[in-house]
Amino acid sequence: MRELLLVAVAAAPLFGWGGEGHRLVARIADAQLTPAAKAQVAAILGPANTLMSIASWADDVRRDRKETGPWHYIDIQITVKHLDMARDCPKGDCVITKIADFRKALADPSTPPEARREALMFLVHFIGDMHQPLHCSDNKDKGGNDVKVVFFGQPSNLHSVWDTLLIGRMKPEQELFVELSAESQKHAKKWAKGTVEDWAEQSHKESQKVVYGRLPKSAATPVPLDSTYERSADPLIKTQIAKAGARLARVLNEALTTSGSPLPPSISPGTPSFASPSHRY
């Protein structure tokens, strides 16, 4: 347990999975890359960087590049059953469309080197982001940011709990990596199937069922979250990170080699396949 992190983290503005979650997704994916894709990643990022070291870059630049803020999420209301791109991403600046745009830029060798490097860094982060359920769902609460909670005695909000606080109470990162990488590789063929839209819908359903569905039925404000909520949340977080790693590996293997099969057509009429190239606030 790493409860000492809670006070500092709860007061900080948090995005996506937080540093540890994004590193885990990147490490899990890196272990599933083909030799050709690994070589391409090394050439694009340069000798001083790895997928793990750049996994949170997209969060680091958000304050200076404010236009990128919406690219990290898509708001699918928890009251609806399915994603509707026209309704949920009307301006084309959500995580689904940006993954497609950056996947296309990465796959094109004629893309200028710096733009291709940014495309890779955004992809690594955004595929991680969309597996945090609150990046694919909303209850008119800014993806849980407006839901005030008390998490094991510390004031926070629901989004921060899912970004970092739950992970911060799990086993150390290296032990998590060993566990989740093995699970990801075991199920990689199954988990990597489908479209980005399919993956977003799955995150949305988990948010309905677990993130919001397991909130205590209490009128108290802020909402108390304890071990009962943690026991339902932790297995989902682990599975989502393991899935994100397998899916990121698939995207990179396909974009950086010529032998992979392309992603199937989008489930949303009029939306590019593997969507085109997002609040969490």
Active site residue 159: yes
Active site residue 17: yes
Active site residue 57: no
Active site residue 163: yes
Active site residue 129: yes
- Annotated catalytic residue, options 23, 30, 57, 72: 72
Active site residue 234: no
* Alpha-carbon gap, residue 281 to 271, rounded angstroms: 25
Active site residue 75: no
Q: Residues 211, 216, 218, 223: is their CA dihedral positive or negative?
A: negative
Active site residue 187: no
Rounded to whole angstroms, what are the CA distances from 16 to 33, 45, 159, 269?
A: 23, 22, 9, 28
- Annotated catalytic residue, options 129, 131, 199, 280: 129
- Annotated catalytic residue, options 23, 103, 117, 135: 135
Rounded to whole angstroms, what are the CA distances from 83 to 76, 109, 198, 281?
A: 6, 32, 9, 21
* Alpha-carbon gap, residue 32 to 42, rounded angstroms: 15
Active site residue 125: yes
- Annotated catalytic residue, options 62, 116, 131, 204: 62
- Annotated catalytic residue, options 59, 88, 101, 138: 59
The candidate with the shortest Cα–Cα distance to 98, out of 147, 65, 140, is 65
- Annotated catalytic residue, options 103, 159, 204, 250: 159
Residue whose pair of structure tokens reads 């990689």 in the numeric block: 188
Cite the active site residues.
Answer: 17, 22, 59, 62, 72, 125, 129, 135, 159, 163
